[in-house]
Structure 1
Amino acid sequence: MKKFLIGLVSLIVLVFLGLQIAQKVVSSGDDYYVQVTTDGKRIVSKDDSGNKYVDYKYSLPGYDKKGEEKQLDFSAAKDRPLRKEAFLKVTWNKNKGVTSYEEVQKKKVPEKAAEKLGISSAN
Structure 2
Amino acid sequence: MKKMIALLVGFLLLSGGAWYAYDYYYGGKDYYTEITATGDVSQETDSKGQSFTVYHYTQVAFDKDGKETTQKMNEFRDKPLRIGAFLKLKVNERKGIISWEEVKQNDVPDKALEKINAASTNE
Cα gap change, 1:22 to 1:47, in 2 (>3 Å): farther
* 1:27 CA displacement: 2.4
Cα gap change, 1:64 to 1:41, in 2 (>3 Å): same
Distance of 2:66 and 2:21 partners within structure 1: 29
Distance of 1:51 and 1:45 partners within structure 2: 8
Please say if 1:48 is aligned against 2:47: yes
**Which protein is richer in helix relative to its size?**
2
- What letter corresponds to residue 80 of structure 2 in structure 1? P
Number of matched pairs: 101
Partner of 2:5: none
The TM-score with structure 2 as length reference comes to: 0.76
Partner of 1:60: 59
- What letter corresponds to residue 31 of structure 1 in structure 2? D
* 1:43 CA displacement: 1.4
- What letter corresponds to residue 111 of structure 1 in structure 2? D
Structural RMSD (CA): 1.9
Q: Deviations over 1:74-111 (max 9, x none)?
A: 01111000000000001111110111111000000001
* 1:23 CA displacement: 5.9
Stretches of structure 2 that go unaligned for 5 or more consecutive residues are 1-17, 119-123
Q: Deviations over 1:24-71 (max 9, x none)?
A: 642210110000000011111000001001110100100000000000
Question: SS of the residue aligned with 1:117?
Answer: helix
Partner of 1:87: 86
